[in-house]
Amino acid sequence: MNWTRTAILLAFMTAMFVTVGGLIGGSSGMVLAFMLALAMNAFAYWNSDKMVLRMYGAQEIGASQDAELFGLVQELARRAQLPMPKIYIIQNDQPNAFATGRDPQHSAVAVTTGLLARLSREELAGVLAHELAHIKNRDTLTMTVTATIAGAISMLANFALFFRSSTGDRNNAMGMIGTIALVILAPIAAGLVQMAISRAREYEADRVGAEIAGQPLWLASALERIQSGASQIVNADAERNPATAHMFIINPLAGHGMDNLFTTHPSTENRVARLKAMAQGMDGAAQAVPRRGPWG
Side chain identity, residue 48: S
User: Higher confidence at residue 145 or residue 284?
Assistant: 145
Mean pLDDT value of segment 20-30: 63
Region 195-221: mean pLDDT is 91
More confident residue, 257 or 237: 237
* pLDDT, position 197: 73
State the distance between the two ends of the chain, measured CA to CA, in whole angstroms.
Answer: 38
The answer to whether position 219 is within a domain reads yes
Q: Would you name the residues annotated as active-site residues?
A: 131
For residue 171, being part of any structural domain is answered with yes
Q: 200: which residues sit within 8 A by CB, 6+ positions away?
A: 2, 5, 6, 9
pLDDT of residue 14: 67
* Residue 286 resides in a domain: no
DSSP conformation class of 48: H
Is 91 inside any structural domain?
Answer: yes
Q: How many residues does this entry show for the chain? A: 296
- How much is the pLDDT for 137? 92
Asked, for residue 259, whether it belongs to a domain, the answer is yes
Rounded CA separation 72/289 (Å): 18
Bigger pLDDT: 64 or 22? Answer: 64
Q: Identify whether 288 is part of a domain.
A: no
C-alpha span between 284 and 176 (Å, rounded): 64
Question: What's the pLDDT tens digit per position in 66-84?
Answer: 999 999 999 999 999 999 9
Average pLDDT estimate for 207-220 = 96
* pTM listed for this prediction: 0.80
Sheet holding 86-90, edge to edge: 59-61, 86-90, 107-112, 97-101
**What residues does 101 pair with on adjacent strands?**
107
150-193: per-residue pLDDT in tens?
766 777 666 666 665 555 555 444 466 666 676 677 777 777 77
pLDDT score for 174: 43
pLDDT tens sequence across 101-140? 989 999 999 999 999 999 999 999 999 999 999 999 988 7
Residue 295 falls within a domain, yes or no? Answer: no
Task: Say if 218 falls within a structural domain.
Answer: yes
Give the pLDDT of residue 47.
81
72 in Cβ contact with 128 (< 8 Å): yes
- Residue 62 belongs to what domain range? 2-280
Res. 248 pLDDT band, cuts 50 70 90: very high
User: Among residues 138, 149, 54, which one has the least CA distance to residue 102?
Assistant: 138
pLDDT at 244: 82
The domain tally of the chain equals 1
